[in-house]
Structure 1
């Protein structure tokens, strides 16, 4: 999957003007051409090893396990990657593809700033100009990543319209992209957007699951019983889940933000409460009003406050291969502090949603069961915000 039209079941596709469809199809052709070449594969593998620091290890969180009680909790340490999260995995691939296609500028949106930092780093590495659009609220909230992006030399555009968060940053970046789609490259930051981006970003991120599956078997002699990851757009989760989709013994759980509660308007629980619609050039489950317009969404984690989700996630929910749960702000903050103080690992607020779910689930399972969490990013960017929120 996807099929030739870019659909995962009934989700995905290219809900865009015909002139943009031709541009997207050119990207697809170029991607399929370059990904088959040994030179590209060798260059990407070399960068993963020597630039990113892959493979990222799997860590048995023994003290967290003891505190939770029950099942053993393991962490796939994507937080140890260069730039601090999983985002660098696809940003390197997209930057190399943009250079291969002769593009003159790479554009992107960012929420928590991890995609922005990773793409700015990748563009600096390959020598191509980079422009990042970021909501004004997120710029104030994620100051460390804002500084990093500026140091790395990208042009940072503050988005002051709408909710001033991720959805509006996507809109703003796409408006800029439409000015010259032939020469600009929109490096979408998740498994969302028109075909071929959900496929392409998934493929680059699948390195996470390929490593994790092999590592876990080597360390434990078996596969994990449960694999879980946070879901906003869904790139880190899809990167982890892909390698386990054919393993019926492995339960897959995506964790999305319940925000201030599913009974309020302040959440981004797309998989739990969304309905089918179109957003940013593709069909997916969305949180929308009666006119089909995206609703304002909220999460304490800037990287998760998106009113849609990757089309493959929607399909995996439909066929019941992946189960989706929601974690609220309080549970997220509790997990953030607990992991920090039990294991000396400060997680990103995004990743803390998956940690929170894992600790809840562990308490319901026997000690011989195992849960593997994709710890998708580190919490440097969130430290000041959390300290202020909790009055530490």
Structure 2
């Protein structure tokens, strides 16, 4: 009985922690009233790094070329591709004079390092304001550049956007991928709004060249294969220089993985990168995950033993209701409403997968970005 008392009070703490996370931290983003920024039409360089992305460039590059924006350059970086990526880039460049190609040859010191290729592309960009996306991404509207650039001002030199994944009908994996993306976005948008920005996604991210060079580029973490987006933002972002952009016209949409093995390989890289975040960012993120895990684990133990089952049931219901409200409102903001019904199941699967990836990464580390 003493052991169950300990389990119960631990569970009580866990529920309180989860409710506080959802209401006090995530609520900063979820209940935020969006203020429409005025278009400023500053010159923008859109930077796209591609490795063996010939088909995706043919499919998605036109959606960037045809953006409704008066002054933008497209910097296409061919990162030592061995397919027809360079040829496709050259075909587009021959038809559009605002495209610049940076052809990167493998360098022994930076072998298979996306950060090296991106550095060359950033140096080649002619405009001060840089907007990043991936070759397998498309803006969901022709106003993507306008919406993202509108968030720049004299104080804000970093803009964090939302990079969604396209929907695939009747696919549990697709829902799981999109739920993880949604939950991650809730976290990094919320932390940015409480003055602790810690990451952005390279599928939809903008910052000034000045920030890049003042931070000495990616040199502080060049040895880490991934993290050209989140590690760099973790290094340079603060409460004064960072803005979020959640206008629906500012979203991008990427091609999701279609097999568990490919997705888990991708998530292994991401989780490895997160180990290098600043301690002040890692601790609350780790605490959130631990309380997530303990919520379900302790719930099962207490319900099976029927220990204070009425109180336990009420606490479970409280946390689930708060979660549904917060994630439900976030899903409306980020156009992921079809996920709400499946929240408990998706969360349980995600917790298990993240735990297995963490254990796997202790044994071996992913090496390359592609």
Establish whether TM, by shorter chain, passes 0.5: no
Structure 2 length normalisation: TM-score? Answer: 0.30
| Structure number with larger C-alpha Rg | 2
Structure 1 length normalisation: TM-score? Answer: 0.29
Name the one with the larger helix percent: 2
